[in-house]
C-alpha cells in the first residue's frame, strides 16, 4: 500500500475540519484534509453538514420564505399593495442550491490555494497516527501524520418510533428538499431545527404542528426570552404542543399517522410530511480502528480535554464530534486553536462566550449565562431589559416585538449574559460577545456610543436599564 507523509492529517472538511486544515497550512505545516461527504445524488462536495444540508441552505430558505411571508402580510402596513404574491418553490430551491454550490466550491478553492492536499475519500484512523484512505474505486492508501485532527461532525438522531423513510418521514436534510409545500406538516422536537424548519414551511403556507416532549419551551434559553418568543411563534400560527411524547408514526400512502401522549391522554395527528429533529449524534462509525487509542464517552463523543486532545498522543478532535454545543462557529474556533497548538503557539478557547442563534422570526440570540444559571450560582446580580417596541429602528422595520435582556454582577458590574429575542438578534449579539470577551462591565456598554437610529440602541438601553438609567423606558 502506498504511503504519503504529512505534518497534519485532518479527517472531515466541515466548518471544524476545513479551517483547521487552512490554519495549519498558513502556519507552514504540510496538511492533508480527507473528506467523505456525499450528497443525496452521490456527488461529492466539501463543507460538511453546515454548507451542504445545514446552516447555509436553511438560512437561504429562511430568508426567501420570510420575504414571501412579509410581502403577503406586512407590505400593506408600509402602504405597499401587492396583488397576488406568488410562490415559485422551484426558483426558491434553485437559488438555495446555487448558494450552496458557490460556497462549497469556495471551500475547495480555499483549501487548494492554502496548499492543502484535499482528498475526497473515506478516512480511518489506525494506530501510530496512520490514516487509511479508501477511494471510490476501493483502492486504499496510507497517510502517515505527525498529528491527526478528527472533525467528522454529527448526524440526525433517528427515533425508533418514527424511522426516516426519506419520503414522508424525513430528517432536517430531507426537510430542505420538499418540492412542494406540504399542506399539513408535523415536526417532532421544538428545538432549534424544528423551529427554523417549521417556520420556513409555515411561512410558505403549511399548517405546522410541533410536538415537543418536554414541558418547558427552549429550556436552554433564558426563561423570560423563551416565554416572549413562544408567544410570538404562537401568534404566527405555529401550533407548538409541549409535553407531547410521540409513541409512533407510520407513513401510509399520502400521509403520516402520528400517535402521541400529552397530559395523560393518547392523541392522534395526521400530516402530509413529518420532520424528525430530536437532536444530533456524533459521527465516528468506522472511523477508529481498535489500535487508534481514541476513546469515546457513553454518548459516542470523542473524549477530549479543554485543548481538544484525545486519549491518543498527537490525535486531536474538534467540532460536533466532541463535547460542547453543536455549533459551526464553536468547531471552527476549536480547529484554529488546535492548528495553533500543533504549530507550537499558545492558544486557548473561551467557551463562556460562544454565541447561540436561532434563526426564526424574530431571531433569538444569546451569550453567557441565563438568569436561572446566574441565580443557581448564588451570585448577586442585576437585570436590565429593553423592549424593541420602544426602539425607533425596529418600529421603522415593522418588527418592534421582543426585547433585550442584560444580566450583570451587582457588585462587580461584569456582564454575565445577554439575551435577545427580536429583529436581527443574530447580528446584534456580536456586540455582547465582544463586550464579554473583553470582560466588559454594564457601565462599559452604557458609555459606548451607539448610532441612532439603530437596533443596537436596544442593547445600550438594556445596559442603562440595569442601573435604572434607561432614557426611553420606565425604570422600574
- Interaction between residue 213 and ligand NAD (CB under 6 A): yes
Q: Report, in Å, the least distance between residue 392 CB and ligand NAD.
A: 28
- Interaction between residue 280 and ligand NAD (CB under 6 A): yes
Q: Report, in Å, the least distance between residue 199 CB and ligand NAD.
A: 11
CA–CA distance, 361 with 63 (Å, rounded to integer): 10
Binds ligand NAD (CB under 6 A): choice among 53, 118, 200, 211: 211
Q: Report, in Å, the least distance between residue 367 CB and ligand NAD.
A: 13
User: Based on C-alpha coordinates, what's the Rg of the chain?
Assistant: 24
CA–CA distance, 52 with 48 (Å, rounded to integer): 6
Q: Report, in Å, the least distance between residue 42 CB and ligand NAD.
A: 25
3-class DSSP state of 261: strand
Closest alpha carbon to 129 in 113, 148, 112, 114: 148
Would you call 452 a catalytic residue per the annotation? Answer: yes
Q: Which stretch binds ligand NAD (CB under 6 A): 21-29, 205-213, 285-293, 381-389?
A: 205-213
- Interaction between residue 145 and ligand NAD (CB under 6 A): no
CB 36 within 8 A of CB 46: no
- Interaction between residue 256 and ligand NAD (CB under 6 A): no
Span 381-420, contacts to ligand NAD by CB under 6 A: none
Lookup result for grid cell 411524547: 245
CB 161 within 8 A of CB 247: yes
- Interaction between residue 191 and ligand NAD (CB under 6 A): yes
Residue 300 or 313: which CB sits closer to ligand NAD?
Answer: 300
CB 260 within 8 A of CB 243: no
- Interaction between residue 341 and ligand NAD (CB under 6 A): no
Q: Please count the residues of the chain.
A: 476
Residue 23 or 280: which CB sits closer to ligand NAD?
Answer: 280
Residue 309 or 329: which CB sits closer to ligand NAD?
Answer: 329
CB 408 within 8 A of CB 440: no
Binds ligand NAD (CB under 6 A): choice among 174, 189, 202, 335: 189
Residue 34 or 159: which CB sits closer to ligand NAD?
Answer: 159
Q: Which stretch binds ligand NAD (CB under 6 A): 208-216, 285-293, 334-342, 447-455?
A: 208-216
* Beta bridge partner(s), residue 274: 169, 186
CA angle 408, 452, 438 (to 5 degrees): 35
- Interaction between residue 326 and ligand NAD (CB under 6 A): yes
User: Burial of 339 by CB count in 10 Å (0-12 exposed, 13-18 middle, 19+ buried)?
Assistant: buried
Closest alpha carbon to 63 in 27, 28, 99, 29: 99
CA–CA distance, 354 with 442 (Å, rounded to integer): 19
Kindly name the residue from 69, 329, 419, 452 that is annotated as catalytic.
452
User: Is the four-CA dihedral 91, 94, 100, 103 of positive or negative sign?
Assistant: negative
Binds ligand NAD (CB under 6 A): choice among 278, 312, 317, 432: 278
Residue nearest to ligand NAD (CB): 191
Which residues of the shown chain bind ligand NAD in the complex (CB under 6 A)? 159, 188-194, 196, 211-214, 245-246, 277-280, 326-327, 357-359
Catalytic residues: 452
Amino acid at each position: 500500500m502506498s504511503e504519503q507523509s504529512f505534518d497534519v492529517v485532518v479527517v472531515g472538511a466541515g466548518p471544524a475540519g476545513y479551517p483547521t486544515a487552512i490554519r495549519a497550512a498558513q502556519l507552514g505545516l504540510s496538511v492533508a484534509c480527507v473528506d467523505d461527504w456525499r450528497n443525496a445524488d452521490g456527488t461529492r462536495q466539501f463543507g460538511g453538514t453546515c454548507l451542504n444540508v445545514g446552516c447555509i441552505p436553511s438560512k437561504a430558505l429562511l430568508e426567501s420564505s420570510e420575504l414571501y411571508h412579509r410581502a403577503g402580510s406586512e407590505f400593506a402596513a408600509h402602504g405597499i399593495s401587492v396583488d397576488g404574491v406568488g410562490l415559485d418553490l422551484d426558483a426558491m430551491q434553485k437559488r438555495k442550491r446555487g448558494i450552496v454550490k458557490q460556497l462549497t466550491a469556495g471551500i475547495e478553492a480555499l483549501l487548494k490555494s492554502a496548499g492543502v492536499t484535499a482528498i475526497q475519500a473515506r478516512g480511518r484512523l489506525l494506530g501510530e497516527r496512520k490514516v487509511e484512505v479508501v477511494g471510490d474505486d476501493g483502492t486504499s492508501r496510507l497517510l502517515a501524520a505527525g498529528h491527526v485532527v478528527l472533525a467528522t461532525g454529527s448526524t440526525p438522531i433517528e427515533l425508533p418510533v418514527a424511522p426516516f423513510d426519506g419520503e414522508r418521514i424525513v430528517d432536517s436534510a430531507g426537510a430542505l428538499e420538499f418540492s412542494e409545500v406540504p399542506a399539513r406538516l408535523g415536526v417532532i422536537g421544538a428545538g432549534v431545527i424544528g423551529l427554523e424548519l417549521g417556520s420556513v414551511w409555515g411561512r410558505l403556507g403549511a399548517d405546522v404542528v410541533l410536538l415537543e416532549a418536554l414541558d418547558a419551551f427552549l429550556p436552554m434559553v433564558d426563561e423570560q426570552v423563551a416565554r416572549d418568543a413562544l408567544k410570538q411563534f404562537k401568534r404566527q400560527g405555529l401550533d407548538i404542543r409541549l409535553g407531547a411524547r410521540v409513541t409512533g408514526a407510520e407513513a401510509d400512502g399520502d400521509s403520516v399517522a402520528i400517535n402521541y401522549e400529552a397530559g395523560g391522554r393518547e392523541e392522534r395527528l395526521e400530516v402530509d410530511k413529518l420532520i424528525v429533529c430530536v437532536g444530533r449524534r456524533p459521527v465516528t462509525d468506522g472511523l477508529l480502528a481498535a489500535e487508534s487509542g481514541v476513546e469515546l464517552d457513553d454518548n459516542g463523543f470523542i473524549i477530549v480535554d479543554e485543548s481538544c486532545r484525545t486519549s491518543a498522543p498527537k490525535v486531536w478532535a474538534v467540532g460536533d464530534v466532541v463535547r460542547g454545543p453543536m455549533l459551526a462557529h464553536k468547531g471552527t474556533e476549536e480547529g484554529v486553536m488546535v492548528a495553533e497548538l500543533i504549530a507550537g503557539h499558545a492558544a486557548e478557547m473561551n467557551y463562556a462566550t460562544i454565541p447561540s442563534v436561532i434563526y426564526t422570526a424574530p431571531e433569538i440570540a444569546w451569550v453567557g449565562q441565563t438568569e436561572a444559571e446566574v441565580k443557581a450560582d448564588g451570585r448577586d446580580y442585576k437585570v436590565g431589559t429593553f423592549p424593541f417596541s420602544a426602539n425607533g429602528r425596529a418600529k421603522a422595520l415593522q418588527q418592534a416585538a421582543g426585547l433585550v435582556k442584560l444580566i450583570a454582577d451587582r457588585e462587580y458590574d461584569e456582564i454575565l449574559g445577554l439575551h435577545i429575542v427580536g429583529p436581527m438578534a443574530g447580528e446584534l449579539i456580536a456586540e455582547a460577545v465582544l463586550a464579554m470577551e473583553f470582560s466588559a462591565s454594564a457601565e462599559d456598554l452604557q458609555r459606548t456610543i451607539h448610532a441612532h437610529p439603530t437596533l443596537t440602541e436596544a442593547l445600550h438601553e438594556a445596559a442603562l436599564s440595569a442601573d435604572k438609567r434607561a432614557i426611553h423606558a420606565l425604570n422600574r
